[in-house]
Amino acid sequence: MVDDAQLQQFINAGSIDVSVLLLQKYRLLGMTVDELVVFLEVKAMLDRGYQEPSTEKIADYMGMKPTEVFARLESMRAKGLVVFETHRDDAEKLTTTLNFQVLYQKLMQLPRPDTQRAFDRMAQPVQTPKTTGQHAVGDEPSRADIFTMLEQEFGRQLSPLELETVSNWFDVDHFLPVLMRAAIKEAVANQALNLRYIESILVNWTRLNYRSEEDVIMNSKRRKQYQKQNTQNQFPKQQQVPLNVDLLHLGQ
């Protein structure tokens, strides 16, 4: 039975307003569950008037270390979901505030509910288009898919710097997500799993105007065929020497 003191404690703790859309679509923004909870903890503090949310308190609430909480915030900043704003207050004290306006903007820019994306079609069969040489739209991985794929292959969470590098593939370089997926597979196959190697593959494929994984496969076949022909031309078939010829007395 809840007594009056417990009820008052519950009321005094307060509540926060959270968009249901964020709870449903956070993965499409590239957020992890930990990052979502950190955001909610930060928002709760901001709503209560904290200018600088305490990473120590959030760490205590979540059973983490303060450095781990900060790493989640850095990760969200690398993904373009929060801006760290540093300024001086009236007492000339340097403070850092967290601005999540960019998160809300990206959330509102997500496709309408009736516009299906890869995440929404995961449980549905992808229809193969009649045209050849191109992937179906439903086969295009999302930003969250690429982050998840890299973390699975690396066997760990991406560092803030790595997250920023991958985000730049989308926002600055505008590499095709299907090529990102193919480049990761290529790096795994070549046992050279690092972002710089993957990025060099993407740069090369983009220069060659690849538009799909089929383009990658076809070029790989052509390259292997060319290498095979080149090897045969460099090492022509040697003439067979008859076994009954005395090599020591040739030319005498």
- Residue boundaries of the structural domains of the chain: 15-108, 137-233
Does residue 148 surpass a pLDDT of 50?
yes
What phi, psi does 49 have (nearest 5°)? 100, 5
Share of the chain above pLDDT 70, in %: 72
Choose between 98 and 249: higher pLDDT.
98
Q: How far apart are CA 52 and CA 73, in angstroms?
A: 13
Q: How far apart are CA 184 and CA 195, in angstroms?
A: 9
Mean pLDDT of all residues in the chain? 77
User: Residue 218: its pLDDT value, please?
Assistant: 84
Helices and strands in the chain, H and E counts: 11, 2
Among residues 167, 33, 28, the alpha carbon closest in space to that of 107 is found at: 28
CATH number of the 137-233 domain? 1.10.10.630
What's the per-residue H, E or C state across 57-71? Answer: HHHHHHCCCHHHHHH
Give the lowest-confidence range in 7-11, 143-147, 210-214: 7-11
Does residue 49 surpass a pLDDT of 70?
yes
The CATH label, of 1.10.760.10, 1.10.3720.10, 1.20.1250.20, 1.10.10.10, for the domain at 15-108 is 1.10.10.10
Beta bridge partners of 87: 95
- The top-scoring range by mean pLDDT among 7-11, 86-90, 129-133 is 86-90
What phi, psi does 95 have (nearest 5°)? -130, 155
Per-residue confidence at 246, pLDDT binned at 50, 70, 90? very low
Q: How far apart are CA 242 and CA 28, in angstroms?
A: 72
> Is-contact 43 26, C-beta < 8 A?
no
Q: Do domains 15-108 and 137-233 have the same CATH topology?
A: yes
User: Residue 50: its pLDDT value, please?
Assistant: 80
Per-residue confidence at 14, pLDDT binned at 50, 70, 90? low
Over the stretch 154-197, which tens digit does the pLDDT of each residue have? 988 777 678 878 888 888 888 899 999 999 999 998 888 889 99
Per-residue confidence at 134, pLDDT binned at 50, 70, 90? very low
> Is-contact 81 100, C-beta < 8 A?
yes
Q: What is the mean pLDDT of residues 4-9?
A: 69
Q: How far apart are CA 57 and CA 64, in angstroms?
A: 10
Q: Return the SS3 of 87.
A: strand
User: Residue 51: its pLDDT value, please?
Assistant: 75
Give residues with Cβ within 8 angstroms of 59, minimum separation 6.
65, 66, 68, 69
Per-residue confidence at 97, pLDDT binned at 50, 70, 90? confident
Q: Return the SS3 of 199.
A: helix
Predicted TM-score (pTM) above 0.85 = no
| Neighbour tally for 155: CB within 10 Å | 7
Choose between 135 and 249: higher pLDDT.
249
